[in-house]
């Protein structure tokens, strides 16, 4: 029997094969091994081989295609601010999507406006401050790059960025990213970017002249292994940029939105930048980026027609961000961030083989006595923990901001054994390498 539809309304597609209302109904199922073989044959190899195939998440837990459970202490790299499948965030997204999902930027929507207002409030932005929405961190930084160009014009072509800094993979953001291996294959870069020494006030003073349009900094470098700029450096950066008429651009893509236990790490240090970029945690897992310009001057650099985006600021992404901010605020999640941060800092400090701990809220970096971070990540996965090694001897944690004390302790309890496993594997590999060398030379 066919359903009846009012005249002119197309019949809905048969729901029998999609009644599951879940992508698995379309993808089918497979083991991790089967999926990874298909991945290898179909996905560009830029990420190397994925560690696991993840199929489901709830809070700080995720499950892989073989049914194994993990405590996610990386949170999609500081993205899943409220963990996976947060009921309020998902219901707001679903309800927005079924009400109004996308409109062009010839139009606006209440969620876009309300989110801009909320970000200006949380960042204590002065009168005249404005927001532009993008879809990712790198896009927010592209807007920052154009802001610097627009501000400096041809007379001021220089953009200063820091050694160790990471700002994204698109060309403008890439030009500001320090790591040569990321940039050099794709040269020529957009011109004008100079990298100066990290946290070195004298180097900054020397580099500052009338050719500088902007200084771009992360208050804490995440990709470099969780390395903070000193309060003195941030202060000097603010004063020197102001003195020379340059913009101070704060990249808070990783550190913003409660990650460090306050809404924004730079603002918490008492610094009001000229612009701040956001992304990762903002949408609670839904893609969105933003740049906030502080005060009238920076907010009027880019005029009508000078920048744009199709998807940026769409109703669903902005609703996701509003829902995320609402939960963070109404449930005192930032207080939890500070509490659990202390548990990590104290606990990690007591673990043998951990040589330095840098805990800023739930952005936590710790160093190991040897270059065994990759081995610790692998051992952790086997033991059911997702962590990350931004450097050969550094582990980074960026878990959901609502991680419980108990979940943090479960990792601390497991860590000594993970380090022991990785150390043993490291030494066995070193011994094997020595034997091979000896054989060859004999």
Site for ligand PLP, rule CB under 6 A: 136-138, 141, 166-168, 218, 222-223, 251, 253-254, 279-280
| Shortest reach from residue 400's CB to ligand PLP, in Å | 17
Complex with ligand PLP: residue 135 or 407, whichever CB lies closer:
135
- Per the annotation, does 222 bind a ligand? no
- Per the annotation, does 411 bind a ligand? no
| Shortest reach from residue 220's CB to ligand PLP, in Å | 9
For residue 154, indicate whether it is catalytic.
Answer: no
For residue 166, indicate whether it is catalytic.
Answer: yes
- Per the annotation, does 138 bind a ligand? yes
> CA-based Rg of the chain, rounded to a whole angstrom?
24
Question: What is the number of the residue whose Cβ is closest to ligand PLP?
Answer: 137
d(CA 354, CA 351): 6
d(CA 159, CA 211): 9
d(CA 433, CA 205): 47
Complex with ligand PLP: residue 80 or 423, whichever CB lies closer:
80
Complex with ligand PLP: residue 83 or 281, whichever CB lies closer:
281
Which of 280, 294, 344, 360 is labelled catalytic? Answer: 280
Burial class (CB in 10 A: 0-12, 13-18, 19+), 386: buried
- Per the annotation, does 172 bind a ligand? no
3-state SS string for 23-81: CHHHHCCCCHHHHHHHHHHHCCHHHCCCCCCEEEEEECEEEECCCCEEEECCHHHHCCC
Q: Which of 330, 337, 290, 328 shows the shortest CA–CA distance to 309?
A: 290
Complex with ligand PLP: residue 64 or 251, whichever CB lies closer:
251
Cα angle: 90, vertex 315, 7; to 5 degrees: 95
Complex with ligand PLP: residue 156 or 227, whichever CB lies closer:
227
3-state SS string for 281-306: HHHCCCCCEEEEECCHHHHCCCCCCC
- Per the annotation, does 356 bind a ligand? no
| Shortest reach from residue 232's CB to ligand PLP, in Å | 21
Cα angle: 217, vertex 219, 224; to 5 degrees: 80
Complex with ligand PLP: residue 76 or 375, whichever CB lies closer:
76
- Per the annotation, does 156 bind a ligand? no
Which of 64, 72, 251, 274 is labelled catalytic? Answer: 251
- Residue whose token pair is 């002119």: 8
- Per the annotation, does 169 bind a ligand? yes
| Shortest reach from residue 420's CB to ligand PLP, in Å | 31
Which of 132, 145, 166, 411 is labelled catalytic? Answer: 166
| Shortest reach from residue 141's CB to ligand PLP, in Å | 6
| Shortest reach from residue 142's CB to ligand PLP, in Å | 9
For residue 251, indicate whether it is catalytic.
Answer: yes
- Per the annotation, does 367 bind a ligand? no
Annotated catalytic sites, by residue?
166, 251, 280
Q: Which residues are annotated as a binding site for N(2)-acetyl-L-ornithine?
A: 169, 309
- Which residues define the annotated binding site? 137-138, 166, 169, 251-254, 309-310
For the annotated binding site for pyridoxal 5'-phosphate, the residues are: 137-138, 166, 251-254, 310
């Amino acid at each position: 029997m066919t359903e009846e539809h009012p005249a002119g309304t197309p019949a809905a597609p048969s729901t029998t094969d999609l009644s599951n209302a879940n992508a698995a109904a379309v993808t089918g199922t497979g083991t991790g091994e089967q999926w990874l073989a298909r991945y290898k044959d179909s996905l560009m190899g830029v990420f190397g081989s994925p560690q696991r195939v993840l199929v489901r998440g709830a809070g700080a837990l995720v499950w892989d295609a073989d049914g194994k459970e993990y405590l996610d202490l990386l949170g999609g790299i500081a993205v899943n601010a409220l963990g996976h499948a947060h009921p309020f965030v998902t219901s707001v997204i679903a309800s927005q999507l079924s009400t109004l999902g996308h409109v062009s930027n010839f139009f606006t929507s209440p969620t876009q406006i309300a989110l801009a207002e909320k970000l200006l409030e949380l960042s204590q932005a002065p009168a005249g401050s404005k927001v532009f929405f993008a879809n990712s961190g790198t896009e927010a930084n592209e807007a920052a790059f154009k802001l610097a160009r627009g501000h400096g014009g041809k007379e001021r072509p220089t953009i200063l960025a820091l050694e160790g800094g990471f700002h994204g993979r698109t060309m403008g953001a890439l030009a500001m990213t320090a790591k040569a291996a990321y940039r050099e294959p794709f040269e020529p870069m957009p011109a004008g970017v100079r990298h100066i020494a990290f946290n070195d006030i004298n180097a900054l003073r020397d580099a500052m002249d009338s050719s500088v349009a902007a200084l771009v900094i992360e208050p804490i470098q995440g990709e470099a292994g969780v390395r903070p700029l000193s309060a003195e450096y941030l202060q000097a950066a603010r004063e020197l940029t102001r003195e020379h008429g340059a913009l101070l651009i704060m990249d808070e893509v990783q550190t913003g939105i409660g990650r460090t236990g306050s809404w924004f790490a730079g603002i918490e240090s008492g610094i009001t930048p000229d612009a701040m970029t956001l992304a990762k945690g903002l949408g609670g897992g839904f893609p969105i980026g933003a740049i906030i310009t502080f005060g009238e001057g920076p907010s009027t650099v880019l005029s009508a027609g000078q920048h744009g985006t199709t998807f940026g600021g769409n109703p669903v992404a902005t609703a996701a961000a509003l829902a995320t901010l609402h939960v963070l605020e109404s449930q005192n999640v930032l207080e939890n961030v500070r509490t659990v941060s202390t548990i990590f800092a104290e606990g990690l400090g007591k673990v043998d083989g951990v040589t330095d701990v840098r805990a800023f809220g739930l952005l936590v970096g710790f160093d190991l006595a040897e270059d065994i971070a990759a081995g610790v990540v692998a051992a952790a996965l086997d033991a059911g923990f997702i962590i990350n090694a931004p450097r050969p001897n550094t582990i980074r944690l960026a878990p959901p901001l609502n991680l419980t004390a108990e979940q943090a302790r479960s990792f601390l309890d497991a860590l000594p054994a993970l380090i022991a496993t990785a150390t043993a594997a490291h030494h066995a590999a070193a011994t094997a390498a020595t034997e091979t060398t000896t054989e060859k030379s004999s």
